[in-house]
Amino acid sequence: MGNKNDDIAADRVLSVEEGTEIKERIAAQRSLKRWRWMGNYGDPTQAAAVANSGVPCLAGEVMFGFNGNLVPAWMFY
């Protein structure tokens, strides 16, 4: 899972379960919303599943990119 410093390596590909766990852990520790790097996913549906899990991101609080076979994600929570 993610390390305790909330750093997700730029080249790391996360599963939905890993992304959800990291997001929930960080959200529980922080009260201030800000943009956070949430790693790479194998496809847009995996990234969307993480964005909608735990503390759901609202409209405008998710950014996905496409980098070859990866979907890098940033979420505001």
Q: What is the pTM of this model?
A: 0.68
Give CA torsion, residues 66, 72, 76, 77, to 10 deg: 140
- Confidence band for 13, pLDDT divided at 50, 70 and 90: very high
Q: Taking each helix axis as running N to C, give the angle between helix 16-29 and helix 44-52, from 0 to 180 degrees, rounded to the nearest 10.
A: 30
- Would you say residue 46 has pLDDT above 90? yes
* CA distance linking residue 66 with residue 5, whole number of Å: 26
Backbone angles phi, psi at 11, to 5 degrees: -100, 5
Q: How far apart are the two ends of the chain, measured CA to CA in Å?
A: 19
User: What value does the mean pLDDT of the chain take?
Assistant: 87
- Confidence band for 2, pLDDT divided at 50, 70 and 90: very low
* CA distance linking residue 76 with residue 61, whole number of Å: 5
pLDDT above 90: percentage of residues in the chain: 57
